[in-house]
Amino acid sequence: MKRSYLVAALFAVFILNSNLQGALITIDTARVGNPGNAASGTVTASGETFTNWSGGESLTPALQLQYAIGGATSPTATNGVPSVTTVTSNTLSITAVVRTNDPTLTVNGQSLIDLTVGLWTTNNVTMTPEVTAAPEGCQVQTFSNPREAETKKFLRLQTALPVASGKVPVGIVLPTKDEPRWIQDQTRFTEALKAAGYDVQILFSEGDSAKEKANVEALISQGIEVLIICPHDGTAAAAAAESARDAGVKVISYDRLIRDTDAVDYYVTFDSVAVGEAWGQFLAEKAGAAKGNNLYLYTGAASDNNAFLFFEGAWNKLQPKIADGTFVVQNSSEAVALQAKAKLTREEMAKIIGQVTTNWDSSVAKNLAEANLSTASTADKGTVFVVAPNDGTARSIADAFAADEDVTAYYITGQDAEKASVQYIIDNKQSMTVLKDVRTLVNDAIAAAVAYLTGDVPDRTTTYYNGKIDIPAKPSSIVTVTKDNVRAAIVDSGYYPASDFPNLQ
């Protein structure tokens, strides 16, 4: 069997076939009202909303699956309460708002009648119910009542149950939907799998380590054998990795390294040090032989190990030029204090990062850049050179520098080749980006997963120390993209179509 077909046959991320085996079905009520009109909300499956349900409709377990996938049978009303009398293995996840005066409501065979819940007294206030004894596998969630002047006792529960059939071999957890970079990864994973005839659902942690761990535990309950996880916080994710390891799951750290644990089996990444070196090399070349060039440093989040690797690479190229006077650092006293040192310890890098971190947030980046410019003298501006840690922050920082009348020109770095930044490069608003072809990273991740599923081990060319052990890896290559090669690197390579970019030469 060809390797590509083997990948398609073995890899799944909540893969859903025509029988919807492993479908994630959520029943989410949006209102608790008077008896006879108790529930209003949506039913979703595989990330799609199918039908609004309201006005006293009730879903029995037999109807939940049929209703959620668009079956013709509609649930019938039962006392106006969203009723779940038995949760079966046909349903992976149920979220429901229930009234605790109904003794027939059970989850996993346990009655909800004995639960202590919160009490509504105000309108449009988010409240966390106080639960003393939630059923095993259930999670209490906050709930906002949109109706006025109601006093109702209610509880929102979520339970993840085993799949009846079709064990999921691989699960993926990505950090957030709020950064375009991770939407790229989601898209590439989805495209790769749909090309093989599969639908796919990927879990996002939404910048929350607790949710990340809950996502991992949900995947473990589905019987995964391999976990691909890009951690929100590299250190905090150690607990999730250890849960997977304890369940016999192979753990692949994706793009960002999980730190301070021996529960990581493999690291799929680009050469992050090379990314930073590309930044430093670009800025050094633009500075040429001139001395006293103003340099502004910005980094990613201190919780992300990659931020240190990117900075290490940039420092490799910039430090000699800072030491010889080519560059003068204008926004980090810690970098100035360490400018004579070619190799920095992690603790020394942390001091610099602490002063110039964007936390991977474009708003934070813009505010920090504006604050730096507000305290800088006219002499500290003019033509400036800027290390920006990714495309999202680069655009915000570029906008701040462009808006300052004392900045006559700027050169600014980036990474990820986001469409908006490719357009910025075309329009002379951003100087460069680093293309980390997500198609390559996705294929590397799939290949590593398949290796583990077939009893093999992934290819390795180096290791990364995560504070506990050396993690085997095979870093993928990167491409520096400027206005001079943007068509060749981005369009001719098939990464994006030319039609996405006005004014492309």
CATH number for the domain spanning 295: value is: 3.40.50.2300
Q: Quick check: is 37 in a domain?
A: yes
Residue that is last in its domain, among 160, 178, 197: 160
Phi, psi of 348 (to 5 degrees): -70, -40
Rounded Cα distance, 397 and 389, in Å:
10
Say whether both 210 and 326 belong to one domain. no
Residue 386 covered by a domain: yes
- Assess if residue 458 is contained within a domain: yes
Same-domain check for residues 137 and 58: yes
Cα–Cα distance measured from residue 477 to residue 272, given in angstroms and rounded to the nearest whole number: 9
Q: Is 18 among the domain residues?
A: no
How many domains is the chain built from? Answer: 3
Q: Give a yes or no: residue 1 inside a domain.
A: no
Same-domain check for residues 449 and 431? no
Q: Tell me the CA end-to-end span of the chain in Å, nearest whole number.
A: 43
Residue 334 · residue 354 · CB < 8 Å: yes
142 & 214 share domain: no
Q: Is the model's pTM score more than 0.85?
A: no
Is residue 13 included in any domain, yes or no? no
Domain that holds residue 278: 272-435+480-500
Within a domain: residue 5? no
* Cβ neighbours for 107, distance < 8 A, ≥ 6 positions apart: 84, 87, 94, 135, 137, 138, 157, 159
Residues 214 and 260 in one domain: yes
Tell me: do 427 and 442 sit in the same domain: no
Is residue 249 included in any domain, yes or no?
yes
442 and 294 in one domain?
Answer: no
What is the full per-residue pLDDT of the chain (505 aa) written as tens digits?
A: 333 333 332 333 333 222 222 222 233 332 222 222 223 333 332 333 323 223 233 333 222 322 222 222 223 323 222 333 222 322 222 333 333 333 343 433 443 333 322 322 222 333 333 333 434 433 333 333 333 333 333 333 333 323 333 345 788 999 998 888 898 898 888 777 666 555 456 899 988 899 999 999 988 887 888 999 999 999 999 999 999 999 999 999 999 999 999 999 999 999 999 999 999 999 999 999 999 999 999 999 999 999 999 999 999 999 999 999 999 999 999 999 999 999 999 999 999 999 999 999 999 999 999 999 999 999 999 999 999 999 999 999 999 999 999 999 999 999 999 999 999 999 999 999 999 998 899 989 988 988 888 889 999 999 999 999 999 999 988 999 999 999 999 999 999 999 999 999 8
> Does residue 256 sit in the same domain as residue 348?
no
